[in-house]
Structure 1
Amino acid sequence: MGELSRIIKLDATDSTNLYLRALNKSENLPDYSVVVAKKQLKGRGQIGTVWLSEGGKNLTFSILKKFDAFRADQQFILNISVSMALYDVLTSLNIPNVKVKWPNDIMSGVTKICGILIENMLKGNQVDQSIIGIGLNVNQTQFENLDKASSLSSITGQIYDLDELLNMIIGRIKFYTENMEGKTVKQLLPAYENILFRKDKPSTFKDENGEMFPGFIRKVTSTGKLVLELEDHILKEFDLKEVTLLY
Protein backbone atom coordinates (compact mmCIF):
# COMPACT_ATOMS: atom_id res chain seq x y z
CA MET A 1 0.00 0.00 0.00
CA GLY A 2 2.90 2.44 0.58
CA GLU A 3 2.28 5.57 2.61
CA LEU A 4 -1.15 6.34 3.97
CA SER A 5 -3.25 8.93 2.19
CA ARG A 6 -3.68 12.33 3.73
CA ILE A 7 -7.37 12.54 4.55
CA ILE A 8 -8.93 15.95 5.18
CA LYS A 9 -12.36 15.71 6.84
CA LEU A 10 -14.89 18.50 6.58
CA ASP A 11 -18.30 18.89 8.16
CA ALA A 12 -19.68 20.60 5.08
CA THR A 13 -18.48 22.08 1.81
CA ASP A 14 -20.08 23.14 -1.47
CA SER A 15 -18.16 20.52 -3.42
CA THR A 16 -15.27 18.28 -2.39
CA ASN A 17 -13.82 18.54 -5.93
CA LEU A 18 -13.75 22.35 -5.76
CA TYR A 19 -12.35 22.36 -2.21
CA LEU A 20 -9.57 19.92 -3.12
CA ARG A 21 -8.69 21.86 -6.25
CA ALA A 22 -8.43 25.15 -4.32
CA LEU A 23 -6.41 23.55 -1.53
CA ASN A 24 -4.03 21.97 -4.03
CA LYS A 25 -3.42 25.39 -5.58
CA SER A 26 -2.53 26.95 -2.24
CA GLU A 27 -0.26 24.15 -1.03
CA ASN A 28 1.49 21.30 -2.79
CA LEU A 29 -0.58 18.33 -1.67
CA PRO A 30 0.79 14.78 -1.79
CA ASP A 31 -0.51 12.24 -4.29
CA TYR A 32 -3.76 10.54 -3.18
CA SER A 33 -4.76 13.35 -0.84
CA VAL A 34 -8.44 12.99 0.00
CA VAL A 35 -11.13 15.48 1.00
CA VAL A 36 -14.21 13.90 2.54
CA ALA A 37 -17.30 15.86 3.61
CA LYS A 38 -20.09 14.83 5.95
CA LYS A 39 -22.36 17.06 3.96
CA GLN A 40 -21.86 18.31 0.43
CA LEU A 41 -24.00 21.37 -0.21
CA LYS A 42 -23.69 21.63 -3.97
CA GLY A 43 -22.48 18.25 -5.16
CA ARG A 44 -22.30 18.34 -8.94
CA GLY A 45 -23.13 15.37 -11.06
CA GLN A 46 -22.28 15.18 -14.73
CA ILE A 47 -23.36 18.27 -16.70
CA GLY A 48 -24.79 20.28 -13.87
CA THR A 49 -27.10 17.73 -12.26
CA VAL A 50 -27.22 18.05 -8.49
CA TRP A 51 -26.37 15.17 -6.19
CA LEU A 52 -28.68 15.06 -3.14
CA SER A 53 -27.16 13.62 -0.03
CA GLU A 54 -28.24 13.34 3.60
CA GLY A 55 -25.50 14.57 5.96
CA GLY A 56 -23.29 11.99 7.64
CA LYS A 57 -24.87 8.97 5.99
CA ASN A 58 -23.06 8.73 2.68
CA LEU A 59 -19.57 9.02 1.30
CA THR A 60 -18.84 12.21 -0.63
CA PHE A 61 -15.14 12.58 -1.26
CA SER A 62 -12.50 13.58 -3.77
CA ILE A 63 -9.04 12.14 -4.39
CA LEU A 64 -6.09 13.98 -5.92
CA LYS A 65 -4.07 11.88 -8.37
CA LYS A 66 -0.82 13.20 -9.79
CA PHE A 67 0.85 11.85 -12.93
CA ASP A 68 4.33 11.85 -14.44
CA ALA A 69 3.59 10.63 -17.95
CA PHE A 70 -0.12 10.22 -18.60
CA ARG A 71 -1.10 11.01 -22.18
CA ALA A 72 -4.24 13.09 -22.58
CA ASP A 73 -5.44 10.90 -25.47
CA GLN A 74 -5.54 7.97 -23.02
CA GLN A 75 -7.38 9.82 -20.25
CA PHE A 76 -10.44 7.52 -20.40
CA ILE A 77 -8.22 4.95 -18.65
CA LEU A 78 -8.85 6.89 -15.45
CA ASN A 79 -12.64 6.52 -15.81
CA ILE A 80 -12.17 2.79 -16.40
CA SER A 81 -9.83 2.42 -13.42
CA VAL A 82 -12.11 4.27 -10.98
CA SER A 83 -15.18 2.37 -12.22
CA MET A 84 -13.39 -0.97 -11.88
CA ALA A 85 -12.18 -0.05 -8.37
CA LEU A 86 -15.72 0.72 -7.23
CA TYR A 87 -17.04 -2.39 -8.95
CA ASP A 88 -14.50 -4.53 -7.05
CA VAL A 89 -15.30 -2.99 -3.66
CA LEU A 90 -19.07 -3.20 -4.11
CA THR A 91 -19.03 -6.79 -5.37
CA SER A 92 -16.76 -7.74 -2.44
CA LEU A 93 -19.54 -6.40 -0.18
CA ASN A 94 -22.03 -8.67 -1.97
CA ILE A 95 -23.96 -5.81 -3.56
CA PRO A 96 -25.95 -7.57 -6.30
CA ASN A 97 -25.73 -6.97 -10.04
CA VAL A 98 -23.22 -4.10 -9.97
CA LYS A 99 -22.85 -2.39 -13.36
CA VAL A 100 -21.28 0.77 -14.75
CA LYS A 101 -23.75 3.08 -16.47
CA TRP A 102 -21.73 4.99 -19.05
CA PRO A 103 -20.00 7.24 -18.43
CA ASN A 104 -19.95 7.65 -14.67
CA ASP A 105 -22.66 6.06 -12.60
CA ILE A 106 -22.52 2.82 -10.69
CA MET A 107 -25.73 0.83 -10.59
CA SER A 108 -27.06 -2.07 -8.57
CA GLY A 109 -29.75 -3.62 -10.75
CA VAL A 110 -31.69 -0.63 -12.09
CA THR A 111 -30.93 1.75 -9.21
CA LYS A 112 -28.10 4.26 -9.05
CA ILE A 113 -25.92 3.97 -5.96
CA CYS A 114 -22.86 5.97 -6.94
CA GLY A 115 -21.77 8.87 -9.14
CA ILE A 116 -18.26 9.70 -10.33
CA LEU A 117 -17.00 13.10 -11.52
CA ILE A 118 -13.42 13.20 -12.79
CA GLU A 119 -11.77 16.52 -13.59
CA ASN A 120 -8.45 16.35 -15.44
CA MET A 121 -5.94 19.20 -15.47
CA LEU A 122 -3.88 19.16 -18.65
CA LYS A 123 -0.38 20.38 -19.39
CA GLY A 124 0.18 20.25 -23.13
CA ASN A 125 -0.74 16.75 -24.30
CA GLN A 126 -0.37 15.24 -20.83
CA VAL A 127 -2.72 14.94 -17.89
CA ASP A 128 -0.79 16.63 -15.08
CA GLN A 129 -3.23 15.74 -12.30
CA SER A 130 -6.80 14.68 -11.78
CA ILE A 131 -9.43 15.16 -9.13
CA ILE A 132 -11.64 12.11 -8.75
CA GLY A 133 -14.96 12.94 -7.09
CA ILE A 134 -17.12 10.10 -5.79
CA GLY A 135 -20.58 10.20 -4.23
CA LEU A 136 -21.66 6.82 -2.86
CA ASN A 137 -25.05 6.31 -1.21
CA VAL A 138 -24.30 4.22 1.85
CA ASN A 139 -26.58 4.45 4.90
CA GLN A 140 -29.26 6.82 3.58
CA THR A 141 -32.55 5.02 2.97
CA GLN A 142 -34.96 7.83 2.07
CA PHE A 143 -34.62 9.41 -1.37
CA GLU A 144 -37.15 12.15 -2.06
CA ASN A 145 -38.20 12.39 -5.69
CA LEU A 146 -35.40 10.07 -6.75
CA ASP A 147 -37.14 6.86 -7.69
CA LYS A 148 -34.01 5.50 -9.35
CA ALA A 149 -31.66 6.09 -6.40
CA SER A 150 -30.75 3.52 -3.79
CA SER A 151 -28.00 2.85 -1.25
CA LEU A 152 -25.94 -0.01 0.10
CA SER A 153 -28.05 -0.03 3.26
CA SER A 154 -31.33 -0.05 1.31
CA ILE A 155 -30.09 -3.01 -0.70
CA THR A 156 -28.58 -5.17 2.06
CA GLY A 157 -30.24 -3.92 5.26
CA GLN A 158 -26.81 -3.42 6.85
CA ILE A 159 -25.27 -0.24 8.29
CA TYR A 160 -21.76 0.43 7.03
CA ASP A 161 -18.74 2.05 8.66
CA LEU A 162 -17.99 5.02 6.38
CA ASP A 163 -14.28 5.27 7.30
CA GLU A 164 -13.72 1.60 6.62
CA LEU A 165 -15.52 1.85 3.29
CA LEU A 166 -13.55 4.97 2.33
CA ASN A 167 -10.26 3.20 3.03
CA MET A 168 -11.35 0.19 0.96
CA ILE A 169 -12.19 2.42 -2.01
CA ILE A 170 -8.97 4.47 -1.75
CA GLY A 171 -6.95 1.24 -1.57
CA ARG A 172 -8.62 -0.16 -4.66
CA ILE A 173 -8.27 3.09 -6.62
CA LYS A 174 -4.55 3.05 -5.75
CA PHE A 175 -4.34 -0.54 -6.99
CA TYR A 176 -5.73 0.46 -10.39
CA THR A 177 -4.03 3.84 -10.80
CA GLU A 178 -0.50 3.25 -9.50
CA ASN A 179 0.70 1.51 -12.68
CA MET A 180 -1.84 2.95 -15.06
CA GLU A 181 0.32 5.34 -17.06
CA GLY A 182 2.00 2.71 -19.22
CA LYS A 183 -1.28 1.09 -20.22
CA THR A 184 -3.64 1.90 -23.07
CA VAL A 185 -7.41 2.23 -23.07
CA LYS A 186 -7.62 -0.68 -25.53
CA GLN A 187 -6.01 -3.04 -23.00
CA LEU A 188 -8.49 -2.11 -20.29
CA LEU A 189 -11.70 -1.72 -22.30
CA PRO A 190 -12.79 -5.40 -22.41
CA ALA A 191 -13.07 -5.65 -18.61
CA TYR A 192 -14.95 -2.33 -18.50
CA GLU A 193 -17.33 -3.24 -21.32
CA ASN A 194 -18.00 -6.51 -19.55
CA ILE A 195 -19.70 -4.66 -16.68
CA LEU A 196 -21.47 -2.02 -18.78
CA PHE A 197 -25.10 -1.39 -17.82
CA ARG A 198 -27.57 -2.53 -20.52
CA LYS A 199 -24.85 -3.63 -22.93
CA ASP A 200 -26.34 -5.57 -25.89
CA LYS A 201 -29.88 -5.10 -24.56
CA PRO A 202 -32.58 -3.30 -26.53
CA SER A 203 -32.73 0.17 -24.98
CA THR A 204 -34.25 3.59 -25.53
CA PHE A 205 -32.12 6.71 -25.76
CA LYS A 206 -32.76 10.42 -25.91
CA ASP A 207 -30.65 12.73 -28.09
CA GLU A 208 -29.63 16.29 -27.27
CA ASN A 209 -32.86 17.62 -28.84
CA GLY A 210 -34.98 15.41 -26.60
CA GLU A 211 -35.90 13.02 -29.43
CA MET A 212 -36.18 9.37 -28.39
CA PHE A 213 -34.75 6.51 -30.42
CA PRO A 214 -34.10 2.78 -29.96
CA GLY A 215 -30.68 1.15 -30.02
CA PHE A 216 -28.18 -1.22 -28.43
CA ILE A 217 -25.06 -0.30 -26.48
CA ARG A 218 -22.32 -2.23 -28.28
CA LYS A 219 -19.02 -0.83 -27.03
CA VAL A 220 -17.03 2.19 -25.89
CA THR A 221 -14.30 3.83 -27.98
CA SER A 222 -10.78 4.48 -26.70
CA THR A 223 -11.71 8.14 -26.21
CA GLY A 224 -14.68 7.11 -24.07
CA LYS A 225 -17.51 7.62 -26.56
CA LEU A 226 -20.48 5.29 -26.48
CA VAL A 227 -21.05 3.17 -29.61
CA LEU A 228 -24.70 2.40 -30.28
CA GLU A 229 -26.13 0.11 -32.90
CA LEU A 230 -29.11 1.85 -34.46
CA GLU A 231 -31.69 0.65 -36.99
CA ASP A 232 -30.30 -1.04 -40.12
CA HIS A 233 -27.24 -2.18 -38.12
CA ILE A 234 -25.65 1.27 -38.29
CA LEU A 235 -23.01 1.87 -35.60
CA LYS A 236 -22.78 5.43 -34.31
CA GLU A 237 -20.55 7.07 -31.70
CA PHE A 238 -22.00 9.43 -29.11
CA ASP A 239 -20.30 11.86 -26.80
CA LEU A 240 -21.31 12.58 -23.23
CA LYS A 241 -23.69 15.46 -23.96
CA GLU A 242 -25.19 13.87 -27.08
CA VAL A 243 -27.13 10.96 -25.64
CA THR A 244 -29.00 9.85 -22.50
CA LEU A 245 -29.95 6.27 -21.76
CA LEU A 246 -33.54 5.95 -20.54
CA TYR A 247 -34.13 2.95 -18.29
Structure 2
Amino acid sequence: MADKSPRILVWDWAIRLVHWLMVILIPLLWWTAEEGYMEWHKSLGLTMFGLVLFRLLWGVIGSWTARFIPMVQRIGSLPSYIAQLRNRDHRPTFGHSPLAILSVFALLLALATQVTTGLFSVDVDGLESGPLATLISFETGRQLAEIHELNFNLLAALIGLHITAIAVYHFVLKENLVGPMVSGRRIRKELSAAQLPENRLRPVPVIAASIITLVCTLAVASFG
Protein backbone atom coordinates (compact mmCIF):
# COMPACT_ATOMS: atom_id res chain seq x y z
CA MET A 1 0.00 0.00 0.00
CA ALA A 2 1.35 3.43 -0.93
CA ASP A 3 2.44 5.71 1.89
CA LYS A 4 -0.05 8.62 2.09
CA SER A 5 1.31 10.20 5.28
CA PRO A 6 1.94 13.97 5.16
CA ARG A 7 5.69 13.44 5.61
CA ILE A 8 7.63 11.25 3.20
CA LEU A 9 10.97 9.48 3.68
CA VAL A 10 13.66 11.20 1.59
CA TRP A 11 16.92 10.15 3.25
CA ASP A 12 17.27 6.66 4.73
CA TRP A 13 19.09 6.20 8.04
CA ALA A 14 22.19 4.73 6.38
CA ILE A 15 22.92 7.79 4.25
CA ARG A 16 22.14 10.11 7.15
CA LEU A 17 24.48 8.20 9.47
CA VAL A 18 27.31 8.28 6.93
CA HIS A 19 26.74 11.98 6.29
CA TRP A 20 26.91 13.05 9.92
CA LEU A 21 29.85 10.76 10.74
CA MET A 22 31.74 12.42 7.88
CA VAL A 23 30.82 15.84 9.28
CA ILE A 24 32.34 14.82 12.63
CA LEU A 25 35.40 13.07 11.22
CA ILE A 26 36.66 15.75 8.82
CA PRO A 27 37.53 18.35 11.50
CA LEU A 28 38.93 15.59 13.74
CA LEU A 29 41.18 14.39 10.92
CA TRP A 30 42.40 17.95 10.33
CA TRP A 31 43.03 18.51 14.04
CA THR A 32 44.90 15.25 14.63
CA ALA A 33 47.15 15.95 11.63
CA GLU A 34 47.85 19.52 12.74
CA GLU A 35 48.65 18.45 16.31
CA GLY A 36 50.74 15.46 15.25
CA TYR A 37 48.53 12.75 16.72
CA MET A 38 49.26 10.50 13.78
CA GLU A 39 48.10 7.21 15.32
CA TRP A 40 44.70 8.77 15.92
CA HIS A 41 44.85 10.34 12.47
CA LYS A 42 45.46 6.96 10.83
CA SER A 43 42.68 5.29 12.81
CA LEU A 44 40.22 8.03 11.91
CA GLY A 45 41.44 7.90 8.33
CA LEU A 46 40.61 4.21 8.13
CA THR A 47 37.16 5.00 9.48
CA MET A 48 36.73 7.63 6.78
CA PHE A 49 37.88 5.08 4.21
CA GLY A 50 35.08 2.79 5.34
CA LEU A 51 32.51 5.60 5.19
CA VAL A 52 33.54 6.66 1.69
CA LEU A 53 33.54 3.05 0.47
CA PHE A 54 30.09 2.45 1.96
CA ARG A 55 28.77 5.65 0.37
CA LEU A 56 30.10 4.58 -3.04
CA LEU A 57 28.51 1.15 -2.66
CA TRP A 58 25.28 2.75 -1.45
CA GLY A 59 25.32 4.92 -4.55
CA VAL A 60 24.92 1.72 -6.58
CA ILE A 61 22.64 -0.51 -4.48
CA GLY A 62 21.07 1.88 -1.99
CA SER A 63 17.75 3.69 -1.81
CA TRP A 64 16.60 5.91 -4.68
CA THR A 65 17.87 9.24 -3.35
CA ALA A 66 21.29 7.71 -2.60
CA ARG A 67 21.87 6.14 -6.03
CA PHE A 68 24.16 7.77 -8.58
CA ILE A 69 22.33 6.84 -11.80
CA PRO A 70 19.16 8.83 -10.93
CA MET A 71 21.44 11.72 -9.91
CA VAL A 72 23.26 11.69 -13.26
CA GLN A 73 19.92 11.59 -15.07
CA ARG A 74 18.77 14.71 -13.20
CA ILE A 75 21.86 16.75 -14.06
CA GLY A 76 20.32 17.42 -17.48
CA SER A 77 17.66 19.57 -15.81
CA LEU A 78 20.32 21.91 -14.38
CA PRO A 79 19.64 24.83 -16.81
CA SER A 80 15.92 24.82 -16.09
CA TYR A 81 16.58 24.52 -12.34
CA ILE A 82 18.90 27.55 -12.43
CA ALA A 83 16.24 29.46 -14.38
CA GLN A 84 13.71 28.64 -11.68
CA LEU A 85 16.09 29.92 -9.00
CA ARG A 86 16.57 33.18 -10.91
CA ASN A 87 12.82 33.63 -11.20
CA ARG A 88 12.33 32.74 -7.52
CA ASP A 89 10.04 29.94 -8.74
CA HIS A 90 11.62 27.40 -6.45
CA ARG A 91 10.14 24.30 -4.84
CA PRO A 92 12.03 21.64 -2.87
CA THR A 93 12.99 18.52 -4.79
CA PHE A 94 12.73 14.90 -3.77
CA GLY A 95 16.38 14.18 -3.00
CA HIS A 96 19.24 16.27 -4.31
CA SER A 97 18.62 19.18 -6.65
CA PRO A 98 20.74 19.31 -9.86
CA LEU A 99 23.09 21.82 -8.21
CA ALA A 100 23.38 19.68 -5.07
CA ILE A 101 24.18 16.64 -7.22
CA LEU A 102 27.25 18.43 -8.61
CA SER A 103 28.24 19.26 -5.04
CA VAL A 104 27.81 15.63 -3.93
CA PHE A 105 29.98 14.32 -6.77
CA ALA A 106 32.68 16.95 -6.15
CA LEU A 107 32.78 16.25 -2.41
CA LEU A 108 32.86 12.47 -2.88
CA LEU A 109 35.67 12.77 -5.43
CA ALA A 110 37.67 15.01 -3.09
CA LEU A 111 37.06 12.69 -0.13
CA ALA A 112 37.99 9.60 -2.16
CA THR A 113 41.19 11.33 -3.30
CA GLN A 114 41.99 12.38 0.26
CA VAL A 115 41.47 8.90 1.66
CA THR A 116 43.34 7.13 -1.15
CA THR A 117 46.39 9.39 -1.01
CA GLY A 118 46.40 9.13 2.78
CA LEU A 119 46.59 5.34 2.63
CA PHE A 120 49.82 5.53 0.61
CA SER A 121 51.37 8.72 2.04
CA VAL A 122 54.84 8.84 3.62
CA ASP A 123 56.21 11.74 5.68
CA VAL A 124 59.59 13.39 5.09
CA ASP A 125 61.61 11.14 7.42
CA GLY A 126 59.59 8.03 6.60
CA LEU A 127 58.56 7.46 10.22
CA GLU A 128 54.86 8.03 9.66
CA SER A 129 53.08 6.48 6.72
CA GLY A 130 49.73 5.18 5.56
CA PRO A 131 48.95 1.46 5.90
CA LEU A 132 49.51 0.80 2.18
CA ALA A 133 52.72 2.82 1.86
CA THR A 134 54.82 -0.36 1.86
CA LEU A 135 53.36 -1.23 -1.54
CA ILE A 136 54.99 1.77 -3.28
CA SER A 137 58.35 3.53 -3.32
CA PHE A 138 59.34 6.25 -0.86
CA GLU A 139 59.35 8.87 -3.65
CA THR A 140 55.85 7.96 -4.77
CA GLY A 141 54.68 8.01 -1.16
CA ARG A 142 56.06 11.52 -0.74
CA GLN A 143 54.33 12.69 -3.93
CA LEU A 144 51.04 11.28 -2.69
CA ALA A 145 51.59 12.97 0.68
CA GLU A 146 51.90 16.31 -1.11
CA ILE A 147 48.71 15.62 -3.07
CA HIS A 148 47.08 14.63 0.23
CA GLU A 149 47.93 18.01 1.72
CA LEU A 150 46.93 20.03 -1.36
CA ASN A 151 43.70 18.11 -1.85
CA PHE A 152 42.62 18.92 1.69
CA ASN A 153 42.64 22.60 0.76
CA LEU A 154 40.32 21.79 -2.15
CA LEU A 155 38.12 19.70 0.13
CA ALA A 156 37.94 22.55 2.65
CA ALA A 157 36.92 24.97 -0.12
CA LEU A 158 34.19 22.60 -1.31
CA ILE A 159 32.90 22.23 2.24
CA GLY A 160 32.83 26.01 2.56
CA LEU A 161 30.79 26.29 -0.65
CA HIS A 162 28.48 23.54 0.60
CA ILE A 163 27.82 25.35 3.88
CA THR A 164 27.31 28.64 2.02
CA ALA A 165 24.75 26.99 -0.28
CA ILE A 166 22.86 25.59 2.73
CA ALA A 167 22.75 29.10 4.24
CA VAL A 168 21.50 30.63 0.96
CA TYR A 169 18.76 28.03 0.65
CA HIS A 170 17.73 28.64 4.26
CA PHE A 171 17.74 32.44 4.35
CA VAL A 172 17.00 33.34 0.72
CA LEU A 173 14.95 30.46 -0.67
CA LYS A 174 13.37 29.59 2.71
CA GLU A 175 14.20 25.89 2.36
CA ASN A 176 15.54 23.96 5.34
CA LEU A 177 18.08 21.39 4.12
CA VAL A 178 19.48 20.41 7.51
CA GLY A 179 16.25 19.25 9.14
CA PRO A 180 15.47 16.53 6.56
CA MET A 181 19.06 15.26 6.83
CA VAL A 182 18.39 14.77 10.55
CA SER A 183 14.87 13.35 10.46
CA GLY A 184 15.05 11.84 6.99
CA ARG A 185 11.61 13.18 6.06
CA ARG A 186 10.06 16.14 4.28
CA ILE A 187 6.51 17.43 3.99
CA ARG A 188 5.02 15.67 0.97
CA LYS A 189 3.01 18.59 -0.40
CA GLU A 190 6.08 20.85 -0.50
CA LEU A 191 7.91 18.63 -2.99
CA SER A 192 7.83 19.47 -6.69
CA ALA A 193 7.47 15.88 -7.96
CA ALA A 194 3.92 14.60 -8.44
CA GLN A 195 4.94 10.92 -8.43
CA LEU A 196 7.52 10.17 -5.76
CA PRO A 197 9.66 7.02 -6.02
CA GLU A 198 9.77 4.28 -3.42
CA ASN A 199 12.61 5.03 -1.03
CA ARG A 200 12.40 2.45 1.76
CA LEU A 201 15.62 1.04 3.15
CA ARG A 202 16.00 -2.60 2.06
CA PRO A 203 17.87 -4.84 4.57
CA VAL A 204 19.77 -7.04 2.08
CA PRO A 205 21.61 -4.18 0.30
CA VAL A 206 22.56 -2.44 3.55
CA ILE A 207 23.87 -5.69 5.04
CA ALA A 208 25.83 -6.48 1.87
CA ALA A 209 27.34 -2.99 1.69
CA SER A 210 28.23 -3.13 5.40
CA ILE A 211 29.96 -6.51 5.08
CA ILE A 212 31.95 -5.45 2.01
CA THR A 213 32.96 -2.23 3.75
CA LEU A 214 34.04 -4.02 6.93
CA VAL A 215 36.07 -6.67 5.06
CA CYS A 216 37.86 -4.10 2.89
CA THR A 217 38.60 -1.80 5.84
CA LEU A 218 40.03 -4.65 7.92
CA ALA A 219 42.09 -5.80 4.93
CA VAL A 220 43.59 -2.32 4.51
CA ALA A 221 44.21 -2.01 8.25
CA SER A 222 46.09 -5.33 8.28
CA PHE A 223 48.90 -3.73 6.20
CA GLY A 224 49.56 -1.14 8.88
TM-score class normalised by the smaller sequence = under 0.3
TM-score w.r.t. structure 2 length?
Answer: 0.27
Question: Which one has a larger percent strand, Structure 1 or Structure 2?
Answer: 1
Structure number with higher relative contact order (C-alpha < 8 Å, ≥ 6 residues apart): 2
- Please state which structure has a larger fraction of its residues in helix: 2
Q: Tell me the TM-score normalised to structure 1 length.
A: 0.25
Instruction: Determine which structure has more spread, i.e. the larger CA radius of gyration.
Output: 2
